């Protein structure tokens, strides 16, 4: 059998056609070196080098595939989580609750990694808001100061109750379902009773600091999984006299320090224990979350111009009831 045929079989077994061309083993005869030394390189060292590279790649790919297989969140699951997070983060339906229910639907146990994963991929959604609203925070210092004032309650309460939330609330399907169900009823009742005042605040840069702080307290309620940070801040802002579009955008901005702090705290405490495959899962979830959150933000801004949040309230109730039925089967 010729050298050409032998090398072809070698490259096909290693999946390295491109590498073969790179080394010139399939070059035309007129391009081959004619000296004895070049012949030695071509006939001995090049095939050996290809074999070595082929084996290294094979080991790497095998180990990567095994790592993905053994990872608590595989590639497909990471894709699903990223899409769910991106769509739900800024809608008043609780992204954390949806992620926990998604994990249950995928039959994943609530391990420490999964809890951290559900928190960490929110960074992708937050990055989408930074991309869309960075000028509001960096250029308008008045808005920045009000966002900081609103962030203070959540920052303090989050640090105080971090362990309780992570150990006892995160992972409880019962808490999530009850929060989503009761929250849905509250959204519907609130929208039926609420009437926006003519003098409602529209300019974020003139929101009183006291109002900003109180909005932050409303946001703190969402430390309970299933409540929805978006719903809590939006309802709180409407109660305190902000226009709908203003509080929705303020909710977007307030998400930046809130989720950066929550995610950062969790990653600092846990990232050192992650494997390469687990970090890969986080990266995939992050990217998908970013893309779909951009679409979700634009959707919500258009939605509130013509609709109330009653539809979201109905959705929360229906989803929680359906999931209760699913869990009881």
b or e along 252-286 (b: 16 or more beta carbons within 10 Å of the residue's beta carbon)?
Answer: bbbbbbbbbebbebbbeebeeebeebbebbbebbb
DSSP annotation string for 88-151: HTTSTT-HHHHHHHHHHHTT----HHHHHHHHHTHHHHHHHHHHHHHHHHHT-HHHHHHHHHHH
* Domain boundary assignment for the chain: 3-69, 73-328
Q: According to the model, what pLDDT value does residue 46 have?
A: 56
Separation CA 76–CA 295 (nearest Å) = 21
Q: According to the model, what pLDDT value does residue 268 have?
A: 76
Separation CA 292–CA 87 (nearest Å) = 6
Tens of pLDDT along 297-325? 999 999 999 999 999 999 999 999 999 99
Residue 20, pLDDT above cutoff 50: no
Separation CA 154–CA 216 (nearest Å) = 6
**243 contacts 235 by C-beta, under 8 angstroms:** no
pLDDT band at 18 (very low <50, low <70, confident <90, very high): very low
Q: According to the model, what pLDDT value does residue 215 have?
A: 98
A 10 A CB-CB count for 190 gives 18
Tens of pLDDT along 29-87? 444 444 555 555 455 555 655 565 555 555 444 544 554 455 668 889 999 999 999 99
pLDDT band at 134 (very low <50, low <70, confident <90, very high): confident
pLDDT band at 263 (very low <50, low <70, confident <90, very high): confident
> 242 pairs with which residues across the strands?
201
Residue 28, pLDDT above cutoff 80: no
Tens of pLDDT along 164-213? 887 778 778 899 999 999 999 999 999 999 999 888 999 999 999 999 99
Tokens representing 295 are 């679409």
Q: According to the model, what pLDDT value does residue 33 have?
A: 44
Provide the 8-state DSSP code for 191: H
What number of CA atoms fall less than 13 Å from residue 116's CA on the CB side? 20
**What average pLDDT does the chain have?**
82
DSSP annotation string for 289-301: HHHHHHHHHHHHH
pLDDT band at 117 (very low <50, low <70, confident <90, very high): confident
Provide the whole-model pTM: 0.75
Beta strands in the chain (DSSP E): none
Separation CA 102–CA 184 (nearest Å) = 19
Mean local confidence (pLDDT), 241-250: 96
Q: According to the model, what pLDDT value does residue 22 have?
A: 44
């Amino acid at each position: 059998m010729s050298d050409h045929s032998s090398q072809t079989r070698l490259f096909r077994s290693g999946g390295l056609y491109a590498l073969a061309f790179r080394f010139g083993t399939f070059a035309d005869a007129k391009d081959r070196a004619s000296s004895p030394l070049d012949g030695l390189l071509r006939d001995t060292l090049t095939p050996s080098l290809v074999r070595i590279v082929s084996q290294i790649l094979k080991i790497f790919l095998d180990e990567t595939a095994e790592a993905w297989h053994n990872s608590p969140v595989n590639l497909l699951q990471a894709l699903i989580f990223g899409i769910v997070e991106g769509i739900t983060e800024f809608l008043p339906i609780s992204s954390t609750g949806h992620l926990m229910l998604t994990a249950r639907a995928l039959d994943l146990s609530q391990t420490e990694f999964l809890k951290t994963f559900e928190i960490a991929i929110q960074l992708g959604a937050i990055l989408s808001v930074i991309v869309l609203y960075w000028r509001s925070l960096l250029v308008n210092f008045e808005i920045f100061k009000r966002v900081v004032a609103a962030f203070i309650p959540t920052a303090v309460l989050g640090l105080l109750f971090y362990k309780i939330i992570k150990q006892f609330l995160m992972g409880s399907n019962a808490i999530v379902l009850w929060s989503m169900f009761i929250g849905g009823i509250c959204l519907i009742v609130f929208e039926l009773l609420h009437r926006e005042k003519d003098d409602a605040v529209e300019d974020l840069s003139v929101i009183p600091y006291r109002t900003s702080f109180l909005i932050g307290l409303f946001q703190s309620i969402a430390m309970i999984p299933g409540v929805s940070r978006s719903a809590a801040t939006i309802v709180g802002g409407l109660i305190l006299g902000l226009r709908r579009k203003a509080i929705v955008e303020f909710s977007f901005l307030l998400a930046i320090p809130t989720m950066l702090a929550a995610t950062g705290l969790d990653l600092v405490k846990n990232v050192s224990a992650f494997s390469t495959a687990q970090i890969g899962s986080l990266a995939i979830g992050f990217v998908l979350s970013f893309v779909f959150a951009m679409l979700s933000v634009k959707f919500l801004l258009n939605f509130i111009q013509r609709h109330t949040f009653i539809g979201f309230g109905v959705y929360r109730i229906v989803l929680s009831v359906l999931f209760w039925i699913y869990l009881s089967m």
